[in-house]
Amino acid sequence: MSVLESTATELLAELTAGNVSATELAQTYLAQIEKSDGAIGAFLNVDAERALAQAKGVDQRRQAGEKLGLLAGLPVAVKDVLCTKGWTTTCGSRMLEHFVPPYDATVISKLRAADAVLIGKTNMDEFAMGGSTENSAFKRTHNPWGLDRTPGGSSGGAAACVASSMAPLSIGTDTGGSIRQPAAFCGVTGMKPTYGRVSRYGLVAFASSLDQAGPLARTAEDIALLLEAIAGHDPLDSTSANVPTPVYTSSVRQPLEGLRLGFAREHFGAGLDHEVDAAVHDAIKVYESQGASVREVSLPHSKYAIATYYIIAPCEASSNLARYDGVHFGYRTDEKAMLAELAEERKSLERAGDRVKLEALDSPLVRMYRQTRSQGFGAEVKRRVMLGSYALSAGYYDAYYVKALKVRRLIREDYDKAFEDVDLIVGPTTATPAFKLGEINEDPLAMYLQDLYTVSANLAGIAAISIPCGITTAGLPVGLQLQAPPFEEEKLLRAAHMFQQATDWHTKRPA
C-alpha cells in the first residue's frame, strides 16, 4: 500500500488493523511536506515535533487497547484561521504574525478529541478575503496542477496540500466559496456545510453570518469522516444549530434511489468556460445513467448574489476586524517613529499656520490605530474594511445593508422553492479552471466575480460540495458543485460518493 496514494478512509482501516502506525503516517506526510511544499507553499507553519508527539501518543494508546477517537492517527492540516492553543494563528496577516491563541477553536478541540494528528497550519488569503491565496501576507501558494496557477482561495493551502498528498484531510473555511473554489481548482473534494452545522467558535471571523468551516479531502467518504468529527452543536456558538449529527461514515455509501437533480439555467451563463460546461454536462449524464432525474429549476435572484455578498460580507468584516487595533493583541506600529512623525507634521502645520489641518490632526492614539491598521492589513483587507465602513455609515445603511439583507432573503426563497421539486442542485463550482497567479489580482471586481456560483449557498446558509468532474485539455481540474437544502449534508455525501463510484476524476493526481 502506498500511504500517499491512499484515502483517509483506507488509511484509517490500515491504522486500525495495525498495518501502519500513526507515527509512520505522520513521518510519511512530514517527509512529503519537506519534499513538496517548497514548490507548493501550502503550509504557513508545520510543527513536526508536535505532530510526531501526538502521533506517538495515539500509537501508545492504541497499543494499550484504549478506545480511540474517530480520526485516530490521521494527519489533518488546518487552515490558519482556526485558533490553536499555544500555536501561532496568523490568518495570513501581518497583523497576527505572532498571535498565539490561549484557546482552541471548537473544531480544533473536536479534532483533538477525535485523536487526529494536527500536522500544520495552511496558507490562506489574509483573513480569508480573496480567491487566489495571493492575499496572504506571507507567501504564495501554487497550484500543484500547474505551478504558475493559483490554487484558488481563500483556502488555497488547504486544497493544495491535499492535492499534493501532503495531508489526507484538511480543514478550510468557506464564506463565499473559499472551500469549494480551491477544491475545484486543485481537483479535490471540499464541502461547505450548512450554516450552523459546524461551530464557528475559534474560527477567526471574516463575515460571521456567512463563515463556515468544512472538510477538504480526496473523496466523499473522507469528507464524511472529517465532517462527522467536527460537526455538532456547540454551546459556545449561539448560531450553532442544536441538531443531531448523523453518522455520515455509515450513510455515505448508500446510493440515493430516485435522485432528483435540479439544473439551474443561471449557473450556465456568459463567461462559463466551454470545457467546464462540457465536463459538468458529462457529469450530469453520469447521474442520469445512475437513475437520477434532472429537471430545470429557477434561481432568478442568483444574478444578484455577488452584489449582495459584496455588501454583507464587507460590512460584517469592517466590524469583525475593528479589534485589530494594536491594543490588546497583534501588531502595533513603531510607536516612537509614529510619535516623531506626528510631531513633525504638527510642527510643519504650525509653521504654515494651517489651523484647519491642525485641528484635524490625529491624536497620538488615533494615529496609532490608523498606522497600525494600515501597516498590519494588506490591500484587499483594507479595501473591504473601507467598503463595509462606507456601506454602514450614516445615510447609506438602508440603501446598502438593509437592501442586501432583503435580497438575501429572496435568494434563500429561490432555493426553498427549488428544493420543493429537487433533492440537489447541480452545476459548475467555478466558471473557469484555475487562473494564473497575478492574472486578476489587480482587479478587485474581476476577482469578486469569481465567486459567482458559490456565494449563493453562503447567503442562503445551505450546504454545498465541490467534487472533481473533469480535466481540461490544459490539464487543469474542473469542479462539480452540488447544493442541498439546510442540514442535508448526507444527501450531498451520498450523491458525491455515487459519482465517485462511477468516475475516477477524484483519483487523478497532478504530475
Partner 1 sequence: MGLSRDEVAKVSLLARLRFTEEELDTLTTQLGQVVEYVRQLEELDTESVNPMAHVEEIHNVFVEDIPQPSLDREEALANAPKRDDECYRVPAVLGD
Partner 2 sequence: MNDKPYEIIIGLEVHVQLQTRSKLFCRCSTTFGQAPNTQTCPVCIGMPGALPVMNRRAYELALRTAVALNLDIPEFTKWDRKNYFYPDLPKGYQISQFDLPMSRNGWLAISDPKGAFQPKRIRITRAHLEDDAGKSMHDEAAGKSDSRIDLNRTGTPLLEIVSEPDMRSPQEAKTYLTELRLLLTYLGVSDCNMQEGSLRVDGNINLHIDTPEGKVATPIAEVKNMNSFRAVERAMAYEAERQYEVWCENKIKLGDKPGGHKTTRGWDDNQQRTVKQREKEESSDYRYFPDPDLLPVIVTPEEVEQVRANLGELPAAMRTRLETTYGIDPYDSDVLVNQGRELVAYYEELATASGDGRRASNWVQQDILRTLNENQQSISNFAVSAASLAELLKAVQAGELDNTRAKDVFDQMVRSGESAADVMSSLGIEKVDASAAESLCRELLEANPKIVEDLKAGKTKAVGSLIGQAKQRNPNVNPSQFKDMCLKIVESM
Which residues in this chain contact partner 1 in the complex, by CB under 8 A?
98-100, 102, 195-196, 209, 235, 238-239, 241-242, 301, 304, 306-308, 310-311, 318, 322, 325-332, 335, 339, 363-371, 373-374, 377, 382-383, 385-387, 389-390, 393, 399-400, 402-410, 412, 444-445, 448, 459-461, 486
Smaller CB separation from partner 2, 7 or 318: 318
What gap in Å lies between CA 94 and CA 102, rounded to an integer?
19
Closest CB 119 distance from partner 2, rounded Å: 20
Q: What share of the chain is helix, strand, coil (3-state, %, to 5)?
A: 45, 15, 40
Alpha-carbon Rg for the chain in angstroms: 23
Q: Which residue among the candidates 154, 165, 170, 456 is catalytic per the annotation?
A: 154
The interface region with partner 2, picked from 89-97, 111-119, 140-148, 439-447 by CB under 8 A, is 89-97
Q: Does 235 bind partner 2 (CB under 8 A)?
A: yes
The three-state secondary structure class of 232 is coil
Q: Which residue has the cell 504654515?
A: 352
In the residue annotation, 79 being an active-site residue is answered as yes
In the residue annotation, 154 being an active-site residue is answered as yes
Interface residue with partner 2, options 21, 32, 54, 89 (CB under 8 A): 89
Distance of CA 364 to the CA centre of its chain: 38
Cell numbers describing residue 74: 490521521
- 202 contacts which partner out of partner 2, partner 1, none, CB within 5 to 8 A by kind? partner 2
Closest CB 203 distance from partner 1, rounded Å: 16
Distance of CA 273 to the CA centre of its chain: 23
The three-state secondary structure class of 46 is strand
Q: Side chain identity at 123, as an amino acid letter?
A: N
Q: In the window 102-131, what residues touch partner 2 (CB under 8 A)?
A: 102-103, 105
Q: Which residue among the candidates 36, 79, 110, 132 is catalytic per the annotation?
A: 79
Q: Does 242 bind partner 2 (CB under 8 A)?
A: no
Q: Is 328 exposed, middle or buried (0-12, 13-18, 19+ CB in 10 A)?
A: exposed
The interface region with partner 2, picked from 36-44, 200-208, 262-270, 416-424 by CB under 8 A, is 200-208
Q: In the window 357-396, what residues touch partner 2 (CB under 8 A)?
A: 362-366, 369, 389, 392-394
CA angle (155, 161, 163) in 5-degree steps = 100
Interface residue with partner 2, options 7, 141, 150, 318 (CB under 8 A): 318
The three-state secondary structure class of 424 is strand
- 244 contacts which partner out of partner 2, partner 1, none, CB within 5 to 8 A by kind? none
Cis peptide before 154 (omega within 30 of 0): yes
- 315 contacts which partner out of partner 2, partner 1, none, CB within 5 to 8 A by kind? partner 2
Closest CB 365 distance from partner 2, rounded Å: 7
Q: Which residue has the cell 440515493?
A: 256
Please, are residues 120 and 46 in contact by the beta-carbon 8 Å criterion? yes
Closest CB 184 distance from partner 2, rounded Å: 27
Residues, the chain, total?
Answer: 511
What gap in Å lies between CA 125 and CA 274, rounded to an integer?
28
Question: What phi and psi, each to the nearest 5 degrees, are found at residue 469?
Answer: -135, 15
Angle between helices 8-17 and 220-230 (to 10 degrees): 70
Residues that bind partner 2 (CB under 8 A): 82-83, 89, 91, 96, 99, 101-103, 105, 200-205, 207-209, 235-239, 315-316, 318-319, 321-323, 325, 327-329, 362-366, 369, 389, 392-394, 397, 401
- Catalytic positions, written as ranges: 79, 154, 178
